[in-house]
Structure formats: structure tokens, C-alpha cells
Amino acid sequence: MRIGLDLHGTDFAPKAELETLRMLKLEPMEGGDIVPIGKVGLESEVRALGYPFVIAEDVVGMHEIPSVAVRRKPRSTIGIGMELLKRGEIDAFVSAGNTGAVFGFARLILGKVEGVSRPGIGVPFPSEQGYFFLIDVGANINATGVDLYQYGVMGSIFTQQIMGVKRPKVGLLNIGEEYTKGSDTMRKAYSLLRDSDLNFIGNIEGDDLMKGHCDVVVTNGFVGNTLLKFAEGFAATVSNLFHQAIESALRRKVGGIFIRSALSEVKSKLDYEEYGGGVMLGLSRMVVLAHGRSSAVALKNAIGLAIRSSKVDLPGLISEALGS
């Protein structure tokens, strides 16, 4: 599998991306050949590491307006990555860049899978039982009942193929467990999910979200994005509180080593680096969106996710499930 990598996506670009290339040179990923995409100044360094190099003229900044960037920067790293993907010169594209721009370029250049109303972004999300798949986390803030139903279908396919769950349990994030709760859109989504072949367990409330009751949680992009960012901030706060507890324990010379062990375990479950990034489902080709703060480890895991998703042909499976 040929995986295109945007060298100017992260907050630390291109430092984190170049470190990822060095890491993969020492520990190559089976079945994945990396195709770096960057501005001309990086070419010699990248080629010296033994990689090919695709030159881009522009970079889309994190704070640029996505719709403007899509029109004005077709030769950016993101735009070129999507063009390569469309032409089949790469099998998947990984970027930690501007989410709106990545999604905008993808919609314009790649297009949707037949039968999909609106693509969504999904991420593995930590729970007491491991991980569940949360979709959507930002692509579609005004999801219809049909959109939410399709997110359930696409999330189930991802969870089966990538996370190894044989018959994923699907829950609809709502303000109450009763099927009558929520807006007309939520009730329509409930009806479609209930009447489908999915393993739908009904509505799930926020306080049960991380207990691991279901494998796929369906919501709209506004709620999903807010939830994701809250969780990231909460994880950082918990980590800081643990560190304060460790310092206090060390000053009192009690239990410091045990607290460190507990902190490491909790942090690994909450850390976005563990899963690498989110996937854009419903597009005709595979795009993985890494976190803007991604380190080399996180980018490596995002590339691994892209390789696995491409091998099983998620777009093809989604087309079979939703195409006419």
C-alpha cells in the first residue's frame, strides 16, 4: 500500500513528520510504502532518507478558511495528496492539517461513495472496556436521520474490519434512553437504526458513554466534535492532577512508584496517540486525519490505520452496504 503523507500538517511541522520518516526507516511498517508530500525545501532531506518526494507549492494553515483554501490552493500539500489519491498513485492519504480543508478537498476531488448522503469523520474513543468508535466528530453538524443511520452502518463496518468486533453494538447518543426522546431528527434516526440489520441497542446517554456498553456511538458533527475536544482537555487535566499527586507523594515519600504506574496506564487509554487519528468514511478513497498536535508516534499510528483501512477496502465495503 502506498500512503501519502502531508509533511506540513502538524503544529510542529515539518519536525514531527520528518521524525516519523526516520522512525519508519528504522522500523518499517509491513505493507506500507510512504510517499511524502512537501515544499521544495524538504526534498533533499527526504530523498536522503530513501523516500520519494512529491513537491507542493503551497501549505494550508490551521486558521485558514477551508472554502477559501480549497479554491485558492489546489497545489497545496492537501490538494496534491487528494489528486494523487484520485489517480490511484497512492492508496490512502494521511494529514494532520486543517480539518475543514482536508474534508473540503476530499469532497471536491474524491467525491462520495455511491449511496452515501454525507461522509462523516470517526475516531476510536476510550472507554472502560477498551475503545468504541465515535462518528461523526466534525464533518456534518446538521445531520439528518438518514445521515445518522448511515453513520451507524459505516461505523459498524469500520469496527468489524479494523477493531475486530464481530457484531458491533450500535448506540445513538441522545438525551434519554426512551425512543421518544430528542428532536425529530433523532427519532427518525432511531427508527431507521432499529429497523435495520445493525445490532442497535437504542439510545445511549452521556453518562454511559465511556462505560463500554456499545462499540459504535452515532451522533452529529457538532456534538461529536465538542465531545472529542472536551475529552482531550479532560485527559490533559487528569494527567496534570496525577502529576501533582505524584509530586505530593514523593515529598511525603509514599507510593510514588505506584502512582506513576497508575498514571501511565490511564494516560495510555486516554491518549489520542494510541489510535493515531480519525478516518473519513463515505469518501471514495481512504483519508486519515491525524491530530494537529500529533507526535511522530501518533503519525506512525495514523499511517498504520491508513494501511489497515486500505487493505480491507473500507470504501468498497461501504459501497456494498449503502450503494443502490
pLDDT number for residue 283: 96
The three-state secondary structure class of 62 is coil
Q: Running DSSP on this structure, what letter comes out for residue 273? A: G
C-alpha 175/C-alpha 190 separation (Å) is 13
Nearest to 161 by CA among 213, 216, 111, 96: 216
The pLDDT score that the predictor gives to residue 108 is 94
Cell 472554502 -> residue: 67
* pLDDT attached to residue 74: 95
Please report the beta strands in the chain, taking only residues with DSSP state E, as ranges in sequence order: 2-6, 33-38, 54-55, 92-95, 120-127, 130-135, 169-173, 199-204, 216-218, 277-281, 286-290
- C-alpha 293/C-alpha 126 separation (Å) is 18
Joined together, the cell numbers standing for residue 234 give 479532560
The reported pLDDT for the residue numbered 179 is 81
Which residue ranges in the chain fall short of pLDDT 50?
none
